[in-house]
Structure 1
């Protein structure tokens, strides 16, 4: 009997450069048009044409680069060269000009790199402004010259996609199959306008496994459903959310070689997405607390999700977390208005592992422990309805007055 394949995760990695067969660059070309020197354009290429898959926002107001990516990936058996992404301008709500500019981003990347396969394109930043294409052209030319497979180039690319983020977000997972290491590396951005399906977020994953587009799409969709689609900071869904996964086959290992190999790959994709999702919530705009909210004991996963979203998006609940107030009454209220048939006499609440409510009865003797837990920067709350086997996990955050001040204007 073969030993199970172990997947190891490096949370603070060198980003996409950890994966063989990719070159990266991050440059400053003043897309924000502020005159300030800030990295704002990332260019990533595979050393050979690669397969790819994407998951995108469900917002009816969908940015031009999202449409362009979808159109490219819908082509049968398509192979792509890599991707180009900018921060500082979302190219959303920009009409036909925006679509033309997004297509031109892909074309410019092809011209500057001399690669004939299409490039996927992503943008993030302020909505409703046209891309400064003159600056984009200059930035693309500079990025193409600086492409390298070194960690410095990789981290610059990771920084170039940031907007209101305070730190870069990278992670790498690896496993060994038949003596050969397979890598999945990722980078992401996101700090505000964060609500499932997905968030104001971009995430890019690369692997050296050989996998076809459908295998990549299945693995990415499964991972997103359990990670990026289960985070919330402020309840707002973005116009530009995109998660892309690329596979260049450089390892010489094929996903179809064995079920165990495929399962290890799916686990690696999940682990990278999971830590990137947590980094996004932890870096939320003016967030001071990261809360792992677990709802269990529900009749269905849909019911558990309703309760989790009601609690995790409640302004009263989030405000109490900011104040380090273990106000379980607000949790119970929000869980109740989810309207899933909650019964008070069956309802349990725990802060970490400390009971706050058992069978609808307050456990006031634990008040000092609740307060200590909610004062931490990261804690867990478990709501158990004791009505069935289903559960749902949501990563969410508190809400501070600094968030309002930060977002009252751009």
Structure 2
């Protein structure tokens, strides 16, 4: 049985054969800081197929519009340029022009077509992009790009905003005597709520993958990972997940490939997305808790998700988690107003494996156990509606005074 090898905190994209990366400082935040990396370049000399998923916000940043336009044209693609410190959102026609110029400049310096580069941005909304700084940094990134782990780690650092650490992971496996790799990097810490989060995530693989199969695989993975996390319930203008496949291995995976290979590839993509999503929640702005919400017994998946999101985004619930108070009444309340079909007399609530309510009846004698459980940095809340077979899992975080202080101004 072929096993997947998961390497957390890896070099990221440069673990994939044929990919280069760079991370350089541009002072995009205009703070006279030439030490903070804020522009990343990911590059494959070999042409790639690509897939992407994007925010469903009606207000979409200029780079999102450009990425969607490029994907529709079908490629081939060679890389991604991503900056932090400025979202290039709500910037009108000039913002879209700036995104196009960025792609054109990168492509021109590498003798490639402009449409072969994606552009992504993250940071403050509503400010013009400081293009002279960005383009100067882009020239440097093209010159300094390389394949070493250090290059990969710099690229992962360059896309961070309020994150406290870089987010990288590499998954590899051997098939038919050849090693294959799927790797990724991400950023995200605040304004985290599907679809997807305030997040950028970039994946790469050395497989050759037809566009439709790559899109299907990525969409399924994103649906069950990045779209199942919440920190504060806000949805960004810039959410983007992109995946590039450069075919460096000489092996293709698609609809007509052996089932074992298709399953292994899909699992590898899923594990990369899952690991990055977990890192995003765990690095939520000033959080102290990560809570896994496991909803079961719902009449439909939609109902299970409604319950999970009502609880995971409730300010009262999140505040009680921060206070280490097992106030399960707030859980029942949120489930009740979620809009899901629910019968109180059938409702079960448990902290880890310790019941708080069974068939609508509380267990006050177990309060000492609940209190001990919620002191942990991570715990699980299981809720069974006993109305069907549908389930849903959501990773959420607490709400802290540190989060409020951090976000009350910039």
TM-score scaled by length of structure 1 = 0.97
CA apart distance, 1:137: 1.1
Q: Which string of whole-angstrom CA distances, capped at 9 and with x for unpartnered residues, describes residues 55-102 of structure 1?
A: 0000000000000000010014x2111110000000000000000000
State the partner residue of 1:142: 140
Whether the aligned pair in 1 keeps the contact of 2:49 and 2:211 (CA below 8 Å) is yes
State the partner residue of 2:56: 58
TM alignment of 1:187-226, pairs within 5 A: 187-226=185-224
CA apart distance, 1:14: 1.4
Whether the aligned pair in 2 keeps the contact of 1:112 and 1:140 (CA below 8 Å) is no
Separation in 2, partners of 1:81, 1:128: 29
- Report the secondary structure of 1:138's partner residue: helix
Whether the aligned pair in 1 keeps the contact of 2:170 and 2:183 (CA below 8 Å) is yes
Q: Which string of whole-angstrom CA distances, capped at 9 and with x for unpartnered residues, describes residues 91-150 of structure 1?
A: 000000000000011011112233336200000000001111100111011101111000
Whether the aligned pair in 2 keeps the contact of 1:255 and 1:262 (CA below 8 Å) is yes
State the partner residue of 1:85: 82
State the partner residue of 1:43: 41
CA apart distance, 1:209: 0.6
State the partner residue of 2:164: 166
1:343 corresponds to 2:359: no
Separation in 1, partners of 2:175, 2:112: 31
State the partner residue of 1:19: 16
- Report the secondary structure of 1:30's partner residue: coil
Q: Which string of whole-angstrom CA distances, capped at 9 and with x for unpartnered residues, describes residues 214-256 of structure 1?
A: 1110011000100111111111000000000000011111103
Separation in 1, partners of 2:127, 2:105: 20
Separation in 1, partners of 2:136, 2:37: 13
Separation in 2, partners of 1:114, 1:159: 27
Q: What's the C-alpha RMSD, in Å, of the aligned pairs?
A: 1.0
Whether the aligned pair in 1 keeps the contact of 2:299 and 2:341 (CA below 8 Å) is no
- Report the secondary structure of 1:287's partner residue: coil
State the partner residue of 1:241: 239
CA apart distance, 1:162: 0.1
State the partner residue of 2:149: 151
Q: Which string of whole-angstrom CA distances, capped at 9 and with x for unpartnered residues, describes residues 241-294 of structure 1?
A: 000000001111110331211111111100000110010011011111001111
CA apart distance, 1:365: 2.3
- Report the secondary structure of 1:216's partner residue: helix
State the partner residue of 2:131: 133
Separation in 2, partners of 1:54, 1:105: 19
Separation in 1, partners of 2:127, 2:178: 47
Whether the aligned pair in 1 keeps the contact of 2:293 and 2:380 (CA below 8 Å) is yes
Whether the aligned pair in 1 keeps the contact of 2:286 and 2:400 (CA below 8 Å) is yes
1:231 corresponds to 2:229: yes
1:101 corresponds to 2:98: yes
CA apart distance, 1:6: 2.3
Q: Which string of whole-angstrom CA distances, capped at 9 and with x for unpartnered residues, describes residues 191-231 of structure 1?
A: 01111101110000000011011111001100010011111
CA apart distance, 1:405: 0.8
Q: Which string of whole-angstrom CA distances, capped at 9 and with x for unpartnered residues, describes residues 353-386 of structure 1?
A: 1111111111222212111111111111111001
- Report the secondary structure of 1:106's partner residue: helix
Whether the aligned pair in 1 keeps the contact of 2:303 and 2:341 (CA below 8 Å) is no
CA apart distance, 1:341: 2.6
Structure 1 consecutive aligned stretches of length 4 or more whose deviation exceeds 6 Å: none
State the partner residue of 2:7: 10
Separation in 2, partners of 1:242, 1:364: 45
State the partner residue of 1:283: 283
- Report the secondary structure of 2:356's partner residue: strand
TM-score scaled by length of structure 2 = 0.97
TM alignment of 1:393-404, pairs within 5 A: 393-404=393-404
State the partner residue of 1:254: 252
CA apart distance, 1:340: 2.0
Separation in 2, partners of 1:112, 1:86: 18
Separation in 1, partners of 2:37, 2:99: 19
